[in-house]
Amino acid sequence: MSLPVHLVPGLDEVAVGHEVTVDGDEAHHAVAVRRLRVGEQVVLTDGRGTSARGAVTSTGKRVFAVEVEELTRHDRPEPDLVVVQAIPKGDRGELAVEVLTEIGVASVVPWAASRSVAVWKGERATKSLARWRSTAREAAKQARRSWHPEVTEMVTTADVVALVGSAGLAVVLHEEATSSLAALDVPTSGRVVVVVGPEGGLSEDEVAAFVAAGAVAVKLGTEVLRTSTAGVAAVSALLSRTPRWR
């Protein structure tokens, strides 16, 4: 049975035999909801490549402690998969973040596309971004990831153009494209960017700007996928051609 995973701020100074204290909401959920008990084995991760396994030595109302028995440090997965996700309506953004996290992306970038139905402004933007980040955090623990993804601040189209220009490979999912992912050489290191449009599709100006910056417009197939699932389909196809999935 897989051990429960809990996120801690850092494990850089931790060694086998050390005791690590977990507090706050993370501990409250473990103790009050999961009924964590002394002696139970758990895994702690800092989300930056280090994981520690050990037994719970004590519990409190919003705190528990673990004695580290095993410490593992993992290299950052290559290549870095970055998904620019146009902001969708409803909870489809959180669905996209969840499945993209499970599949192993390094970053999810919320994008205010010209045809996005949902608009993030003011308090709504703050709350929506917090939900995306919470979803990524919980999905990363569920997927037992040592490296957790970043959910960035919302970006503009100009920001996406700059991101595309800095990538080793950038693809834009577009139903009218003539190229396919199968025709591309996928790098084994560096940054790979996937741009996913909103429910209303990408505008001609957006596609032209991304292609001018070095992106390749690609079509996934004859079916038109939802914005919440197109990214995971594209990333899966790309990962299948890298050492990460071989």
How would you classify the pairing of strands 191-196 and 169-173?
parallel
Q: What is the pLDDT of residue 2?
A: 84
pLDDT bracket for residue 1 (50, 70, 90):
low
Spacing of C-alpha 70 from chain mean position: 26
Element at 191 (helix H, strand E): strand 191-196
CB 160 within 8 A of CB 210: yes
pTM for this structure?
0.93
Contacting residues for 157 by C-beta, under 8 A, at least 6 apart:
111, 112, 113, 114, 206, 209
Report the C-alpha dihedral over residues 16, 18, 21, 26, rounded to 10 degrees: 0
pLDDT bracket for residue 90 (50, 70, 90):
confident
Calculate the average pLDDT of the chain: 95
Cα within 13 Å of Cα(123), Cβ side: 0
- Domains of the chain plus CATH, in order, are 5-73 (2.40.240.20), 80-245 (3.40.1280.10)
Percentage of the residues of the chain whose pLDDT score is greater than 90: 87
Tens digits of per-residue pLDDT, 155-212?
Answer: 999 999 999 999 999 999 998 899 888 889 999 999 999 999 998 899 999 999 999 9
| Cα–Cα distance for residue pair 36/58, rounded to 1 Å | 10
Closest of 78, 237, 35, 87 to residue 168, by C-alpha: 78
Region 95-111: what's the mean pLDDT? 98
Region 32-59: what's the mean pLDDT? 96
Q: What is the pLDDT of residue 223?
A: 86
Cα separation values, 185 from 14, 81, 106, 180, Å: 40, 15, 20, 11
